[in-house]
Amino acid sequence: MSETPYAPVIRSQADLEDAWRHLMEPLGFGGHSLWLMFVQPDGTPLPHLTQIEECVRPPTPPELNSFVALLRSLGSEMCAGERIVFLRSRPGRGGPTPDDLAWARSLYDACRRAEVETDVVHLATDDMLVPLPMDEVMARTA
């Protein structure tokens, strides 16, 4: 008997957190990565995750500019209402560090500059998966 493929519908922040949890568990990471998932206007994600490895330090201004250019290029191929969502994973325990918050701020800024829709950035560590809402990130990194 074959197992039914995982096919979430992401219409809320809770749906997105559930999807990331399903995809990332069991938690435990050997390196620092940025994960990208494309979500279609109807809330269904494309069946492919993109992993960018070795994302230890937050991006420098030139790196962020390059990422904005990449997002603009991707955005030009996306249909109206499609969005890119992000999760940062790293080894270690506990909640967000200053670097995690700087990553989230950079991702929100890059999407704004590239005019690409996104949702709440998430963080996964060895013992937790948590949302990093934009308003909290901006307040804590001001």
Reported as a single tens digit per residue, the pLDDT across 11-66 is 999 999 999 999 999 999 999 999 999 999 999 999 899 999 999 999 999 999 99
The answer to whether residue 17 is domain-embedded is: no
Mean pLDDT rounded to a whole number for the chain: 95
Residue 58 belongs to some domain of the structure: yes
Q: Looking at residue 96, which CATH number applies to its domain? A: 3.40.140.10
Is 130 part of a structural domain of the chain?
Answer: yes
Could you tell me the residue range of the domain that residue 48 belongs to?
27-141
Question: Is 2 part of any domain?
Answer: no
What's the total number of domains in the chain?
Answer: 1
Can you give the pLDDT at residue 113? 98
Q: Which two tokens stand for residue 129?
A: 């998966």
Residue 43 belongs to a domain: yes
Question: What is the pLDDT, as a whole number, of residue 5?
Answer: 83
Question: Which tokens hold the place of 104?
Answer: 């989230």
Rounded to whole angstroms, the Cα distance separating 94 from 2 reads 37
pLDDT, one tens digit per residue, over 75-128 is 999 999 999 999 999 999 999 999 999 999 999 999 999 999 999 999 999 999
Burial 60-90 (b: 16+ CB within 10 A, else e): eeeebeebbeebeebbeebeeebbbbbbbbb
Residue 4 covered by a domain? no
- For residue 19, being part of any structural domain is answered with no
The number of residues making up the chain comes to: 142
Asked whether residue 67 is domain-assigned, the answer is yes
User: Which class for 45: exposed (0-12), middle (13-18), buried (19 or more C-beta within 10 A)?
Assistant: buried
Cα Rg of the chain (Å, integer): 15
Q: Is the pLDDT of residue 2 over 90?
A: no
